[in-house]
Structure 1
Amino acid sequence: MSFIKPDDTWTLMAFLTGWAAVSIYLEQNYKWAARVSGAIIALLGALIFANLKIIPTESPVYDGVWTYVVPVAVPLLLFKADIRRIWRESGRTFWAFNISALGTVLGAFIATLLLSSVIPEVYKVAAMMTGSYMGGGVNFVAMSEAFKASQNVINAAIVADNLNMALYFFVLMTIPTVGFFKRNFSHPYEDTKKDNDEGKTAAAAYWGRKEISLLDIALAMGSALVITTISTKFAGFINESPALSFIKAILGQKYLVITTMTLILASVFPGFFGRIKGAEELGTFLIYLFFVVIGVPASIEMIIKNSPVLLFYCAIMVIVNMAWTLLIGKMLKFHLEELLIASNANIGGPTTAAAMAIAKGWTELVLPALLVGVYGYVVGNYFGIFTGNTIKSLLGL
């Protein structure tokens, strides 16, 4: 029995929000935490508290986060996903991102081919990691629910994912300084870069203070809840209807419906949704609550058992992504910085890609990094569903 009881809603909510806040604070104020990432701090902290029996491993509070909090995060993170703006302003980085996205899918198939015999629920892992390595944490969440992955596989995959990303981001930050790449790729942004403020972590630089009003918060939360409600009801209606199975597989997935509906609204009404400030911050904080919750029921024994193999799986995907991006990008004469930002946007999402551009002083690539990263949120769910179902079919499951 845990110190905090499963039905102690107030205390558990205080823990979830409090630990998410601590994780964000550490990431933005300490370089060691920035390297680890706030997401993995949130997860590991909850894991430790749960295994020490300070908090319960099961509670209706956690179910509430899965059911209500996470779906609302999706539209909040997509309010700026105006397809026309992404096309118009992301420039060459948009095409570099699409090249890199193909590398993610290719990496999932290669990793599955090599490790399918030793990874349980491998097609579910492929779907989750394709979503994550084309969009970000929100796509990982969507795919984990869409494919009903077991809790231990989800937990182990998140740990492997974050450890792998931490190593990869270090590699990405190092590549521009390596002679081989400087000799073989054009690098105009590196040649003319401006240094960022000293002493700031990349997370702190990106998540700086912004002007925000009460109306912004009201519009952000109100719009997100309306979109989520309509999408969820529509997906439920499709699932209960006599529609064909392939239609249910697409329109019956609430995360795909939420993504599509938000994308359409953001593109048709870019002035309205684009002007709402604070939506990305609210959405990211809600995703941090998910990372705390996902660490709670984790079995340390299962993570130790499963994470090394999953870490290898994720590493294969990332290595294939990087090799493919650099190889094809070199053939098509992309700049090194564009390719690295595109790969970062795939593996980590818009925030890490923008943070890298800020940290490296590539100021002209900050906006493209954000735009293609948001585009990754949009397409990540579609490609995650495609990859997971294709691998499931090929394995005869």
Structure 2
Amino acid sequence: MDSLISPDESWLLWGFLVGWAAISIYLEQKFEWASKLSGAIIALVGAMLLANFGVIPIESPTYDIVWAYVVPLAIPLLLFQSNIIRIWKESGRLLMIFLISSIGTVAGAIIAFFLLKEYIPAVDQIGAMLTGSYTGGGVNFAAMATRFDVGGETVSSTVVADNLLMALYFLVLIAIPAVGFFKKNYRTPYIDEIEKNGADNGNQAASYWKRKEISLSDIALAVGSSFVIVAVSFKLAEFFTNVIPDDANIFLTVLRGIIGDDYLMLTTITLLLVSFIPKYFSSINGAQEIGTFLIYIFFVVIGVPASIPLIIQNAPLILLFAAIIVFINMIVSFSFGKLFKFSLEEIILSSNANIGGPTTAAAMAISRGWTKLVGPILIIGTLGYIIGNYIGTGLGVWFAGMM
């Protein structure tokens, strides 16, 4: 689909991505309606509308740069104030609800397969890709596409459906805390804490992100440290991926998946550094603000690929397949989350980590002010990369046998 701004006009696209992220933050902190809606939704919806009206392209190397560089740089910045002991304690609960959400993904994929297997070509491969994606994010989607040697047209159609459903579900999850039914029937400790602390200020976003003292040294140390941590982490992950064979035995395969994963290594090294030299990282002002701004740029990019005309034209049934998985994941997550007395925030973030991966879940936690859950959901979400590959492969092989 042609667009007013072509995919190779990098400066115009960067101007839009960064500029719209800035506008979203400004609106969130300036106006009460935008604060309740959240800057994350404003960023995502704005990009989705402009992409669907043909103003910006749905694919561009510029967007790939955000995924490859902006998101990794944001993660260490957001973890500089993290307490690893508290994180590990809280991760236990999140792991349980995350696994429950994963069961919802599996159940949804099986139901969707049997309902639509007579109508969708290569449905076994599509089921594998979407199951992997909706257990740990887009990294698993790419792995499943490679594992089952899926054709380019099938991959393209499924990617668009995947992105659209992820963006729409992301909007639903962000809106849920404002719905009276959920606040009445679920515990909301993190929301209650924000409302208590911001009671004197109607705009919670502005209250939370109030002005802080920050120096040039703070900016230099925050950004410089983040670059170094990302570089070392990714190089270490690459080293272990190359050293450990991927088909030797189940133990080495799992080990390779854990210490060879870029984001899991990045999160682990950051948390270890913060634990061993806490005074250094706690003394850096502005790291969370810089990291959050980078995440808002990521929010804009999430909304871009959700092209509704392409879905209607090429893959409406694939969209239905994906919608069934997401819907069942949501039902299972919120039903069992209520049964086992999980908080609303834990359920939302765990389901988000399933469907979108750790980066989208962390971004949502940040946008809502649930900062205590950022570290735990990053840890749990990155583990989804590993189990998602196994679950997607298992269901893909089973589905192929049923064709």
Task: State the TM-score, normalized to the length of structure 2.
Answer: 0.73
**Is 1:226 paired with 2:228?**
yes
- Structure 1 match to 2:152: none
> 1:156-208 CA deviation, whole Å, 9 max, x = no partner?
1322321331453234x544446xx7xxx999x98xx8484367344334333
Structure 1 pair 143–394 and aligned structure 2 pair: CA distance change class (3 A): closer
- Structure 1 match to 2:343: 339
> 1:280-332 CA deviation, whole Å, 9 max, x = no partner?
22222222222323433442224563556544433322332222222223xxx
Structure 1 pair 115–230 and aligned structure 2 pair: CA distance change class (3 A): same
- Structure 2 match to 1:100: 97
- Structure 1 match to 2:330: 318
Q: What secondary structure does 1:211 align onto?
A: coil
- Structure 1 match to 2:340: 328
- Structure 2 match to 1:113: 110
RMSD: 3.7
Residues 268-347 of structure 1: matches in 2 within 5 Å? 268-303=276-311, 305=316, 309-329=321-341, 339-347=343-351
- Structure 2 match to 1:152: 160
Distance 2:143 2:33 in 1: 34
Aligned length: 358
Q: What secondary structure does 1:100 align onto?
A: helix
Give yes or no for contact 2:81–2:282 (8 Å, CA) kept in 1: yes
Give yes or no for contact 1:346–1:373 (8 Å, CA) kept in 2: no
Give yes or no for contact 2:337–2:347 (8 Å, CA) kept in 1: yes
Of 372-381 and 306-315, the range deviating more from structure 2: 306-315
* Structure 2 letter corresponding to 1:111: G
Distance 1:203 1:142 in 2: 31
Deviation of 1:375 after TM superposition, in Å, equals 0.9
Structure 1 pair 204–9 and aligned structure 2 pair: CA distance change class (3 A): same
Deviation of 1:255 after TM superposition, in Å, equals 1.8
Structure 1 pair 384–201 and aligned structure 2 pair: CA distance change class (3 A): farther
> 1:27-82 CA deviation, whole Å, 9 max, x = no partner?
34445545554334323322332344433444332232222222212222222333
Residues 9-20 of structure 1: matches in 2 within 5 Å? 9-20=10-21
Q: What secondary structure does 2:222 align onto?
A: helix
* Structure 1 letter corresponding to 2:173: M
Distance 1:39 1:308 in 2: 25
- Structure 2 match to 1:376: 377
Of 115-124 and 222-231, the range deviating more from structure 2: 115-124
Distance 1:170 1:216 in 2: 36
Structure 1 pair 147–309 and aligned structure 2 pair: CA distance change class (3 A): closer
- Structure 1 match to 2:216: 214
- Structure 2 match to 1:47: 48
Give yes or no for contact 1:107–1:318 (8 Å, CA) kept in 2: yes
Give yes or no for contact 1:78–1:377 (8 Å, CA) kept in 2: no
Structure 1 pair 54–102 and aligned structure 2 pair: CA distance change class (3 A): closer
Percent of aligned pairs sharing the same letter: 37
- Structure 1 match to 2:356: none
Deviation of 1:277 after TM superposition, in Å, equals 2.7
**Is 1:170 paired with 2:164?**
no
Q: What secondary structure does 1:4 align onto?
A: coil
> 1:327-355 CA deviation, whole Å, 9 max, x = no partner?
223xxxxxxxx723433443565676688
Task: State the TM-score, normalized to the length of structure 1.
Answer: 0.74
Q: What secondary structure does 1:395 align onto?
A: helix
Distance 1:194 1:269 in 2: 32
Structure 1 pair 242–199 and aligned structure 2 pair: CA distance change class (3 A): closer
Residues 49-198 of structure 1: matches in 2 within 5 Å? 49-86=50-87, 96-116=93-113, 118=116, 121-131=126-136, 140=137, 151-171=159-179, 174-177=181-184, 194=196, 196-197=198-199
Structure 1 pair 156–323 and aligned structure 2 pair: CA distance change class (3 A): same
Which consecutive aligned stretches of 4+ in structure 1 deviate over 6 angstroms post-superposition?
none
Structure 1: any 5+ residue segments left out of the alignment? 132-139, 330-337, 359-368
Distance 2:171 2:113 in 1: 21
Give yes or no for contact 1:123–1:389 (8 Å, CA) kept in 2: no
Deviation of 1:274 after TM superposition, in Å, equals 3.3
Structure 2: any 5+ residue segments left out of the alignment? 117-122, 146-154, 248-252, 353-360
Give yes or no for contact 2:97–2:333 (8 Å, CA) kept in 1: yes
Give yes or no for contact 1:160–1:311 (8 Å, CA) kept in 2: no
> 1:118-168 CA deviation, whole Å, 9 max, x = no partner?
57744444444444xxxxxxxx46656666775414421322321331453
Distance 1:42 1:14 in 2: 14
Give yes or no for contact 2:132–2:391 (8 Å, CA) kept in 1: no
